Amino acid sequence: MKQLTVLAMLCYALSTAQINEDFSSKNLIHWQGDCANFTVNSAIQLQSNASAGGSSWIVRPYELSSSTYWELWMNMAFSPSTTNKIKVYLYADHAKIDSITKGFYFTVGESGTKDSYDFYLQRKGKADSLLISGVDGLAGTSNNKGRIKIEPFNASWIIYLDAKGGENFTVLDTLPQYFSGSAYFGIYCKYSASNAKKFFFDDITIDKFVKDTIVPKYGDIVISEIMADPELSIGLAEKEYVELYNASAFPINLKGWTLSVNGSKITFPKTMIAPHEFLVLYDIPALLNEGCEILLSSSKGDIIHSVSYSSEWYGDPFKAEGGWSLEIKDVAKPCLAGENWSASNAAIGGTPGKINSLYQNMTDDISPKIEYVTILDSNTVSLHFSELVYYNNQINLPIDSVFYNISPQAELKINLKENLLSYVVYTININASDCSGNSINGIFPFAMADSAAQNDIVINEILYNPKGDGSDFVEIYNRSNKFIDLSSLRFSSRDTKGFLTPATAVSTYPMLLFPGEYAAFTTNPENIIQQYPSHSERIFKVSSLPALNNDEGNIVLILPNGTVIDEFHYTEKMQDGLLNSTDGVSLERINPSNQSWHSAAESIGFATPGLQNSQFVDPQKVKNEFKLSYKIITPNQDGNKDFAEIIYQLEKPGYKATILIFDASGNKLKTLADNVLLATNGDFQWMGTTDSGELLPAGIYILYAEYFHPNGEVKHWKESLVLER
């Protein structure tokens, strides 16, 4: 950000081969002439500052060659005329305006309102020759901003103009390259007293023209720190800020770039950021405490970095209250999201303009995936990814067109050659990779969505009394032949009068539940996965669930209009009465087609979120038995019959079992299960060891199971097995 310190405007005759002047040095040390009649204003622009009508001239030397390039911005904040005008010498052979014998300049200022940018050639002893006459009226208003750019091309100069002062240039004409060698660039202002302070100049560049071959790519400039909530500051000024970092190996000019914050946009002036340098932007509008999207785009519109931060990224409830910034951990991993950000560890709450306190090398070896597909119309779909990906130009669908750009994107729109059909499952296998080079793995199915009707989807499992500070979950099951979009469903409950309570969307994005599929929902998937680590693929996050009390409660699945799809009322008395504790034990529906429920099996970990229930019973397929997979085992780690496998299938839930191993003489050697609540089907494994882990010798061993039901049934199973060494 430009800042101004008031200094006397002094002129010095210093030689320079090129000019790159944005007036941030706050003085005119390289200029000659009437410097006392100019100042650097609060916007860090050169401004005329005469006290009365007259004229002023300032000039500075440079070296003109066939590869010279000019650019400057100017503003005449008045209506030009023959007495209020400007002449800008792109080339002059003398430092004093009255001594110029050869020159090349443009001027603005003539009678009437047809003022434009006219280019002239000046030679000694001849009238100035009009080279280019600009379009009438380009500078005929009361506030005339313009940007001139001149580039060399094949022994000519191409003259560009944006008559609004931006960078939407049009070509005025081309001119021969008339001069070369030692030269002067000069600005002549003629004015009445009322306009003596109304000439403005900035971004004056005269340099060797080098065609821009460096195209900034995603991650070259990184959003590296965000101060969204500066209140309760512990050391920094109470100002919101966004920090940028140049992660590339070359300097980058941010001129014309934009920073979009929650829809508000900032456009950068000429702002150089050197390699591995920081730029801190204060007083950014629309930085929301709870989170929003920040988008950095180049002047060509390419996205260079994007961050959709959340207050959850702090990872610390205390710091999330304010006064601490969010810092990126690894600037070399710009595609990573929340896992690459956290609250600053700096003693003053942040590190604006410095290396982040959290700096570290992050590992990214997780492949991206398609999270969901949005069907926009009959032949257009949009793929939504788990992280930003680069599309590598290959999809297994019949494609008409794909909309993508050079930046990584979280969404990819595809037009198909044929219309999608109802009740047809399509699969996508896409060639794409994330910023770390991890490729998408697997095939993603999708289909046209159907509407849910009553009992199409049932509540299939519920954990209402989690362990310790754990989380509840609710599992649903699609028992229909429909492809149902879960974003059309809501979780609710009934109050003491039987009325539905305010509902929460099951999914905030289109999420298909296929026929025969399970999906478990919780406010804390990480906790559920930690408690039940073997069941993670079908566990999803929901913003909130109805209150599920430990003694009794209810959960209702509804459509937005209040139509009930399914509901379940539970009490703690529904749990198995023989359990010592029901903490962390879910209730499972025995079969999706009926209303019978039972405690989840101990043998499976007391819950099966996202999987077929441990107490599931299919009456058509049940055989009440225990059996061995094979009668001979050879536990030598060769991958063939290394352990004994006891497989069981029960006709109803609630059985408890004790399973023991004996030698041929009847000595007990191993307890595989001790009064364990069984699933309706499952298995146990024996590796040929004792309770203490000792390897048993070759021989014949007896496997014995006793299993009983609370209704009084007691059953036994015994089988012999040969162990070979």
Domains of the chain with CATH codes? 19-208 (2.60.120.560), 221-343 (2.60.40), 370-445 (2.60.40.1220), 457-604 (2.60.40.1260), 625-723 (2.60.40.4070)
DSSP conformational letter for 99? G
The residue with greater pLDDT, 185 or 14, is 185
Q: What pTM was computed for the model?
A: 0.59
Angstrom distances, CA of residue 295 to CA of 288, 306, 330, 331, 516: 14, 4, 18, 16, 41
Q: Which helix (H) or strand (E) segment is 478 a member of?
A: strand 473-478
pLDDT in tens, 569-600: 999 989 987 788 999 999 999 888 888 898 99
Per-residue model confidence (pLDDT) at position 392: 82
Tokens of 438: 């991890």
CA dist., res. 724 & res. 699, Å (int): 7
**Contact yes or no for 91/179 (Cβ under 8 A):** yes
Per-residue model confidence (pLDDT) at position 11: 55
Angstrom distances, CA of residue 110 to CA of 75, 99, 258, 589: 16, 24, 37, 89
Identify the residue whose tokens are 């597909």: 373
Measured in degrees and rounded to the nearest 5, phi and psi for residue 448 equal -70, 135
CA dist., res. 233 & res. 237, Å (int): 7
**Contact yes or no for 328/225 (Cβ under 8 A):** yes
Residue 257 burial (10 A CB sphere; 0-12, 13-18, 19+): buried
pLDDT in tens, 472-526: 999 999 999 999 999 999 999 999 999 999 999 999 989 999 999 999 999 999 9
CA dist., res. 654 & res. 648, Å (int): 14
The dihedral built from the CA positions of residue 355, 360, 366 and 367, taken in this order, carries a sign that is positive
Tokens of 273: 């950021």
**Contact yes or no for 420/448 (Cβ under 8 A):** yes
Per-residue model confidence (pLDDT) at position 620: 62
DSSP conformational letter for 591? -
The b-or-e profile of 291-310 (16+ CB within 10 A means b, else e) is bbebbbbbeeebbbbbbebe
Per-residue model confidence (pLDDT) at position 458: 96
pLDDT in tens, 525-549: 999 999 987 667 899 999 999 999 9
Angstrom distances, CA of residue 32 to CA of 3, 100, 185, 525: 24, 15, 10, 70
pLDDT in tens, 398-426: 877 788 777 888 888 988 888 988 888 98
The residue with greater pLDDT, 97 or 8, is 97
Angstrom distances, CA of residue 188 to CA of 129, 178, 183, 192: 18, 21, 16, 14
Per-residue model confidence (pLDDT) at position 394: 77
* Residue from 710, 717, 712 nearest 684 by CA: 717
The dihedral built from the CA positions of residue 174, 177, 182 and 188, taken in this order, carries a sign that is negative
Per-residue model confidence (pLDDT) at position 617: 72
Angle subtended at Cα 160 by Cα 159 and Cα 163, rounded to the nearest 5 degrees:
130
Per-residue model confidence (pLDDT) at position 621: 64
The dihedral built from the CA positions of residue 209, 214, 215 and 218, taken in this order, carries a sign that is negative
pLDDT reading at 223 higher than 60: yes
**Contact yes or no for 647/693 (Cβ under 8 A):** no
Q: What is the CA radius of gyration of the chain?
A: 38
* Residue from 253, 248, 249, 238 nearest 287 by CA: 238
pLDDT in tens, 379-389: 899 989 988 88
pLDDT reading at 5 higher than 70: no
Per-residue model confidence (pLDDT) at position 4: 30
**Contact yes or no for 94/184 (Cβ under 8 A):** yes
Measured in whole angstroms, the distance separating CA 512 from the mean position of its chain's CA atoms is 23
Residue 707 burial (10 A CB sphere; 0-12, 13-18, 19+): buried
**Contact yes or no for 481/552 (Cβ under 8 A):** no
pLDDT reading at 218 higher than 50: yes
Per-residue model confidence (pLDDT) at position 618: 73
Per-residue model confidence (pLDDT) at position 189: 98
pLDDT in tens, 234-291: 999 999 999 999 999 888 889 889 999 988 898 998 788 888 999 999 988 789 999 9
Note the maximum CA span of the chain: 129
Give me the DSSP letters along 520-578: EEES-HHHHHHHSTT--TTEEE-S------SSEEEEEEE-TT--EEEEEEEEGGGS-TT
DSSP conformational letter for 1? -
Per-residue model confidence (pLDDT) at position 93: 96
Measured in degrees and rounded to the nearest 5, phi and psi for residue 79 equal -85, 120
pLDDT in tens, 304-319: 999 999 999 999 999 9
* Residue from 359, 355, 366 nearest 342 by CA: 359
Tokens of 658: 């004790």
Q: Which of 248-257, 346-355, 467-476 has the lowest mean pLDDT?
A: 248-257
Per-residue model confidence (pLDDT) at position 624: 64
- What amino acid is encoded at 43 in this protein? A
Give me the DSSP letters along 222-256: EEEEEES--TT-SSS-S--EEEEEE-SSS-EE-TT
Angstrom distances, CA of residue 623 to CA of 274, 573, 620, 651, 719: 74, 29, 9, 7, 17
pLDDT in tens, 631-665: 999 987 777 888 888 988 888 888 999 999 999 88
**Contact yes or no for 646/707 (Cβ under 8 A):** no
Strands, DSSP E only, in 320-362? 326-328, 341-343
Percent of the chain past pLDDT 70, that is, above it, reads: 96
Mean model confidence pLDDT for the chain: 90
Average pLDDT over residues 562-568: 95
CA dist., res. 575 & res. 551, Å (int): 11
Alpha helices in 587-654 (DSSP H): none
Residues 271, 273, 277, 281, Cα dihedral to 10°: 30
pLDDT in tens, 662-709: 998 889 999 999 999 998 888 898 989 999 989 999 999 999 999 999
Give me the DSSP letters along 105-152: EEEE--STT----EEEEEETTSPPEEEEEPPTTTT-SSSEEEEEEEEE
Identify the residue whose tokens are 């300097």: 251
